[in-house]
Amino acid sequence: MEAVKTHRLNPYFMIGTTSIPTLITPIILALFISVMVANTSFLGHLCGLAFGYGWGFGYLQFLAPPEWGLRWIEGKIVPFGRLPHYISVEQKTNGRFGVLPSVNQNSMTRASGLLIRHNPRILKIPPYLSLLCVVIGVGWLLVLPLDNYSRKTYISENALLPGQVHTYFSGSDQNIFRGYKHEVNALEDKNNNEVNDKLEEFLKASGLKVARQNFSYNSAGEVFSGENIYAILHAPRGDATEAIVLVGAWRNLDGEINRSGISLILTLARYFKRWSLWSKDIIFLITPESKAGPQAWVDAYHDTHTPPGIQSLPLKSGALQGAVVIDYPFSHRFESIHIVYDGINGQLPNLDLINTVVSIASGQMGIGVCLQKMWRHSDNYRDRLQTMLRGMLNQGLGHASGAHSSFIPYHIDAITIQPLGDGWQDEMAIGRVIESTFRSLNNLIEHLHQSFFLYLLMQANRFVSIGTYLPGAMLIALNFTIMAVYLWVKSGSLHHGPEVIRPDKLDKKSQTLQEQEAIKASINEKMTLVRERELFLPLTLVVGIQFLGIVPLYVFNKTPKHLLSNMFVFFIVLNTVLPFFISFSLTRYFSPSVQQYQLIKCFSLLLLGLFLSSLATLNFSLAFLVGLLSAPLAYTQPLPKSSISSYLLPLSFNLLAPTTIFFIGIWYWGLQIGEVLTEAAFGWNVWWMNTQVVVWCVWWPAWLV
């Protein structure tokens, strides 16, 4: 059709002295594409061209809807009558048919925009559309546990071959384990250096190279120090370019001595040394605890540590391909294993690593597997949803859930294996699981990359990937963007009252006609006026409050531990008074107009939607939780001073403040405020946890505005 229009204006174009009809250019282009691009149909292009030529020259006029039908549809859809930027065939096209756009679009688009801006029906849509996005986003999350929206897990990396090898860890190795366990029990009351002296003796006796590392961290007025010890088994069939890590903390996150875990590491070190099948080095790492020790070691391994507090490693191997942590503090037999996989800042290991351990434990060894402390899982909707929500909560908090969490930010896939329950499985069973897992990782010829890094697990063998669950958080973020655009359009309106200007109620004498190439649009003079927006005060206030979030971010991460509880109580009181103080100061010294109030809210919601949509691709759970808790903020508006609601509404919105939500969560789980704030400060100073940045620099400023 475009070729027909061009032909009527310029029938020919010149190449040198040769005149070429413009009508044949689509045919030449179709022929060129068919020759140059594989698997294209020249006949299909010709059919499309034939239809276009027939439509352009008017031979297919019988297919066009009648003019009266089009005008009837326009009258029903558009409340102002005929669309200003559409014309009929008889007026413009010399025998052509249909409804075609006008030649000049700019002024007519502006005219249509002015009409839409003052259309009361359209201006009522954004709040409902915004609320609909929130409802659909929550509903999207709730349907994920259903079979139609989730998938069964599978191994993507064929080289892993989980459970395909026969394990030999048994028999006499159990006697060695019992001997090591007796020695470990004797070290219960020893300090860190004395324990490492004994462990070094055991590891050297197994023929391994042993090294130590001292570390010291300062956080919330406390010092976290200790000494890591590790040994390296050089692969007989490798070149020291790749390594796998087996980790055990002397004390786990609950403060219990990892008796069976440390004994199992020593036994496996002796056992692995006897095999000549390893193509990757194996590192046996024992840390004094599960928080600072692993972080110090992995930082020093990648030379990102900060001396002199963190000592450099005297002994290294190749690139770390994976890590498995053993948390086995008790001595009795166990029933099943619990896999912990949450990393710092919501990062997750490659799903293939989890699938490998699940396949080996449940498929080869007959050991049950559970996730997210769901000790009994019935594979129904409720249990799936609960497992998913627990995983989202841990991911959203962004804290370390074990010694494995320190490895994941370095793109080292790591998990923690915790035996649990009271059953008939013994320590040899967990040893065979680790042996088979390490032999699967030993088969890799490249880093795990085939499977997913962004997922939500609902049980050990069911998950949803990012492409399925991401729209939920994006819809929540879109809610704020829609309301921001709505407030921006509303701020450009000349009318401040609740009633919107309707064109059918305007004085006809005040109307002017704008004619653009035979197109006439009836537009009111008030609608053609552009209302200047006063941006300085709204931008200054919003930017200032955004940077104000740095204050609590600094205070809660640098205050000593014994003052954190009092500081939190003080900040709750300050948080209650601060909105009234800002509102009073703003009204008294600047007297902002209604437009400026709208722009302040507009910029705040726009930033919130921008931050949350970007965060959703990095930490879906945190973006979803913050967006859902902030959703009511999109519907607030200034109230008259004399109204009681102007005082009650801010007080009620204190229930949605980050500090209030934090306090409710602490009360619900029975935690101590000081301990939680100390852990958060440790996460900021040691783990580089960025949850506090989102809370104080994204969520809190949006709530305050």
Per-residue pLDDT of 170-181, as tens digits, reads 888 999 999 999
Collapsing DSSP to helix, strand or coil, 78 comes out as coil
516 strand-pairing partners: 519
Quote the mean pLDDT of the chain. Answer: 85
Mean local confidence (pLDDT), 96-123: 56
β-pairing, 222-233 vs 209-219, is: antiparallel
**In which band, very low, low, confident or very high, does the pLDDT at 542 lie, cut at 50, 70 and 90?**
very high
What is the chain's length?
705
Architecture label for domain 152-170+198-460? 3-Layer(aba) Sandwich (3.40)
Q: Which residue has the higher pLDDT, 88 or 456?
A: 456
Helix (H) or strand (E) holding 621: helix 620-630
Q: In what order do the strands lie in the sheet with 151-152?
A: 151-152, 462-465, 455-459
Is the separation of the CB atoms in 451 and 355 below 8 Å?
yes
- Beta-carbon contacts of residue 108 (< 8 Å; ≥ 6 apart): 84, 85, 102, 516, 519, 521
The pLDDT score that the predictor gives to residue 98 is: 43
Task: Give the pLDDT band (50/70/90) at residue 108.
Answer: low
Q: Residues 19-46: what's their mean pLDDT?
A: 74
CA distances from 368 to 174, 381, 439, 589 (A): 22, 20, 21, 67
pLDDT of residue 214: 96
pLDDT at 21: 79
**Res. 38: pLDDT tops 80:** no
The least confident of 90-104, 221-235, 256-270, 453-467 is: 90-104
Per-residue model confidence (pLDDT) at position 515 = 45
Q: Is 468 helix (H, G, I), strand (E, B) or coil?
A: helix
Are residues 446 and 574 in contact, defined by beta-carbon separation less than 8 angstroms?
A: no
Residues 6 or more apart from 638 whose CB is under 8 A from it? Answer: 594, 597
Count how many Cα atoms sit within 13 Å of the Cα of residue 402 in the half-sphere of its side chain: 24
> What pLDDT sits at residue 418?
97
The stretch 601-620 carries a mean pLDDT of 95
pLDDT in tens, 293-309: 999 999 999 999 888 88
Closest CA to 425 of 336, 553, 520, 338: 336
- Report residue 225 CA to chain centroid gap: 33
Beta bridge partners of 286: 229, 248
Q: How confident is the model at residue 97 (pLDDT cuts 50, 70, 90)?
A: very low
1: confidence class by pLDDT, cuts 50, 70, 90? low
Pairing of the two strands 368-371 and 334-340: parallel
pLDDT of residue 502: 46
Can you tell me which residue has the tokens 């199992």?
264
* Token output for 182: 């007796």
Q: Number of helices (H) and strands (E), helices first, in the chain?
A: 27, 17
Nearest alpha carbon to residue 362 among 168, 156, 153: 153
- Cα–Cα separations (whole angstroms), residue 201 to 186, 205, 314, 368: 15, 6, 18, 36
pLDDT band at 22 (very low <50, low <70, confident <90, very high): confident
What is the mean pLDDT of the segment spanning 90-116? Answer: 49
226/506: higher pLDDT:
226
Across the range 319-337, mean pLDDT stands at 95
Q: Where along the chain do its domains lie?
A: 1-64, 152-170+198-460, 476-502+514-704
Identify whether the C-beta of residue 365 lies closer than 8 Å to the C-beta of residue 411.
no
pLDDT exceeds cutoff 90 at 551? yes
* Rounded (5°) CA angle 29-32-34: 110
Question: Residues 337, 343, 344, 345: what is their CA dihedral angle, to the nearest 10 degrees?
Answer: -130
- At 496, the pLDDT band (50, 70, 90 cuts) reads very low
Instruction: Give the integer Cα–Cα distance in Å for 662 and 535.
Output: 34
| Whether residue 113 has pLDDT greater than 60 | no
The predicted structure's pLDDT at residue 494 = 63
Mean pLDDT is lowest, of 25-29, 170-174, 669-673, for: 25-29
Grade residue 54 by pLDDT with cuts at 50, 70 and 90. confident
